[in-house]
Structure 1
């Protein structure tokens, strides 16, 4: 779980970006007011990195081979396991729009076996990548029942990408907006 910080944010989001950075930020996801999300405004401190980060993140959200619901199931599990409340909050919203129910979203944060075999295999694969930086032969074979090699490769990279994003968010102390969801009530906060 994340360390307690003396102050958050550790890196303040860009408020008045240079024109080139403002143009990049205009292409990112924003809140209900159209303000770019804090993750992007913080990463804008390193514009070249933000540009590349956004390409890969945008690929997963708009061009990936995994269906949106299953992608969000895995992203939420990664956020939970990494203790990243900011990532959790943003993907609760995206997950709900992608077909996950409120009960499913809450259940991501448990060791529940109430999932379909297909979903349980995805969650197990995410957990294995997070725990062992690998996927067992048994889980890889189980994934092969429902997912192509392309989708299995994407799944592994998806977990890695969101683990990296969680590390960035936690370490820089990006603060989630107060109106965004928190950890599931039944789980408390970490």
Structure 2
């Protein structure tokens, strides 16, 4: 299943700031990101709105260090990025997903969705939750029951919060035209991936 994807900006509508272009507040906020190496374009773009950035960063960080197992969280994030047609989100979370234990085969299979051959039952339900939230803004009773077999209440709260947050991020990345970093891979291609 591929989501309808209209054209995306070919160039940044709001370009990332270079370190020398940042004021003291933006520089301070970027230091909180804790990156080693080059600035990541998402942060260097969103820091153009320092007040919003300062509130968003801890929320996103909490979800990345939340109650869901990292591997399953990354299944939700990657599926959401795919469904939203957010190449940037996909590319960044391929890296995070690998660190969380996803294999390259699993990452590619995310694009094919929950009914693709090879998923275990629970992974398929995690992906299905992302699809249901994307398509209907609600997890069905059947999928909820499957998730509740393994997840506690805090984890169940996090599932729609993660998917919702990464919709927000995908919408923003797509609309602002945040460019991929040099060498970052985009979406998988091939007969099963549109």
Using structure 2 for the length normalisation, give the TM-score: 0.90
Tell me how large the CA RMSD over aligned residues is. 1.8
Q: What's 1:53 paired with?
A: 56
Question: Shift of residue 4 of structure 1?
Answer: 2.5
Q: How many residues align?
A: 187
Q: Which stretches in structure 1 are left out of the alignment for 5+ residues?
A: none
Runs of 4+ in 1 over 4 A off after TM superposition: 187-190
Distance 1:161 1:115 in 2: 24
Aligned residues of 2:26 and 2:50 also touching (Cα < 8 A): yes
- Please list, as runs of the form range in 1=range in 2, the aligned pairs for 1:1-190 lying within 5 A after superposition: 1-5=4-8, 7-15=10-18, 16-28=21-33, 30=35, 34-62=37-65, 64-111=66-113, 112-186=116-190
Whole-angstrom CA distance in 1 between matches of 2:124 and 2:8: 34
Shift of 1:29: 5.4
Specify whether residues 135 and 127 from structure 1 end up closer, same or farther in structure 2 by C-alpha distance, changes over 3 A only: same
Q: Which runs of 5+ in 2 are unaligned?
A: none
Contact 2:41 2:179 in 1 (8 A): yes
CA distance in 2, matches of 1:6, 1:84: 11
Deviation at 1:14, TM superposition (A): 1.6
> Is contact 1:121-1:143 (8 Å) kept?
yes
**Compared CA separation, residues 185 and 3, structure 1 to 2 (3 A):** closer
Q: Counterpart of 1:27 in 2: which secondary structure?
A: helix
What do the CA deviations read for 1:66-123 (whole angstroms, capped 9, x no partner)? Answer: 0111111110000001000000000000100110000000000003142111111101
Question: TM-score, normalised on structure 1?
Answer: 0.92
Deviations 1:4-32 (A, max 9, x none): 256520011122111111011122254x6
Is the contact between residue 71 and residue 101 of structure 2 (CA under 8 Å) also seen in structure 1?
yes
